[in-house]
Amino acid sequence: MTDLTQLGIAEAARLMARGELTASTLTEAFLKRIEAIDHKIASYITVTAHLARNAARQADMEREGGVRRGSLHGIPIGLKDIYETAGVRTTGHSHLKADYVPAVDAESVRRLKAAGAVILGKLGTHEFANGAMTPDQPFPAVLNPWNVKHQPGGSSSGSGAAVAAALCMGAMGSDTGGSIRNPAGYCATAGLKPTYGLVSRSGIFPLAFSLDTAGPLAWTTEDCALMLDALTGHDPADQGSARTPKVDYGAAAHRPIKGLRIALARRWYEGEDGVTPEMKAGIDEAVRVLEDQGAIVEEVVFPDIRDYHVCGRVIITVEAHAIHRRDVIERPEKFGYTTLRRFQLGAFFTAEQYIGAQRFRRQLTLDTRAAMRGYDLVMTANHWGPPETFGEPQPIFHFLGKPSLTMPFNVTGQPAATICCGFSADGLPLAFQLAGRAFDEACVIAAGAAYERATPWRGHRPAL
């Protein structure tokens, strides 16, 4: 049998269903690989080996007794360290929470456990999902497994790096301005930002209430879909939680995409300061592959990418300041310097500016919906080029540079997935995004999975 840590969730679930693999064997393979490999990339803050072994044994006993909890039953998963976990510290990668041990699980963690998932541990992040990988934080910076000189993207950095390095089969991240999709793109994994309100955020450290989403990263889009199956459902503890019909997302990964209409937002990523030539070529080839699968791809003009970026950054900055204001005033020394300055910036916006950004958000959502009329999906680049190296000075206000290619779908609340579309000449990942209409994750998943089946990129793993 192949190296068990190279299996995807769907394949491992099939093996366990046939009795050819146990959760304990699978979990032990991942724990051994974490011990052997993770010191190279520092993706884990806390490894919960004892709890993972107990959960795996429980899964095996249940299967022997005829209990089947679904595709995640016995599957090893990691959690971004802003997800509260009962009896296990949840640090937010910050001195402020370095010793915080919650009494209960976040709702999404509870649902994963109810589905039989095995939690391997807590994964590194940017401080409170808003800072940067800087030396003044309590844990080492997460490194990119494709090239440790480069950053893995944030803020779900540990989640992207751990999945890419085969240190877990799937991981939970959060996405307020691209924090699932950026590390997914930089680490060549799949990543899915669900529609705002689809997955509960109860028990997850907030960054910006009106934009925060929780979702999965995994090696394939299908694996993300199987995780999403366990996560959805209304949660009265989350004021933003939506009531939606149950959807079989795993089945959606096998839908044909013939006749699917895709609007290509080319103007967002091309131009004088556009993506690298390799990224452009990768997306052009991805368009061809999707067309070969029967999809119809046409260029469509959307609102200016900078409009979404400015709108989203104002909302994030103001809401993040409101959430962290007391600690910023009373315990500023507990924050990393970069995180502190980003939180303080929110104090300089007026109520009129914040309300204006929220009203502008509504207009952008309407304009995006109008541009999508007659189309099922939007396609665009995921990032501009290779991630920054750790040797470069990291700007405190990084968002004053190029606009974020991921921000539009945070502003509109639409579901969006990141899909790897190859590698540059120096071995760094290329990726594009597919975004769907609100609560139509199934269409996003179908197209992403179809592309992955038609291309060789899921056969490439970083050498560590």
Catalytic residues, by residue number, are 80, 155, 179
90 φ/ψ angles, rounded to the nearest 5 degrees: -130, 105
- Identity of the residue numbered 246: K
- Identity of the residue numbered 10: A
Three-state SS string over the chain comes to: CCCHHHCCHHHHHHHHHCCCCCHHHHHHHHHHHHHHHHHHCCCEEEECHHHHHHHHHHHHHHHHCCCCCCCCCCCEEEEECCECECCECCCCCCHHHCCCCCCCCCHHHHHHHHCCCEEEEEECCCHHHCCCCCCCCCCCCCCCCCCCCECCCCCCHHHHHHHHCCCCCEEEEEECCCCCHHHHHHHCCEEEECCCCCECCCCECCCCCCCCEEEEEECCHHHHHHHHHHHECCCCCCCCCCCCCCCCHHHHCCCCCCCCEEEECHHHCCCCCCCCHHHHHHHHHHHHHHHHCCCEEEECCCCCHHHHHHHHHHHHHHHHHHHHHHHHHHCHHHCCHHHHHHHHHHHHCCHHHHHHHHHHHHHHHHHHHHHCCCCCEEEEECCCCCCCECCCCCCCCHHHCCCCCCHHHHHHCCCEEEEEEEECCCCCEEEEEEEECCCCHHHHHHHHHHHHHCCCHHHCCCCC
Q: Residue 461: how many CA atoms within 13 Å on its side-chain side? A: 17
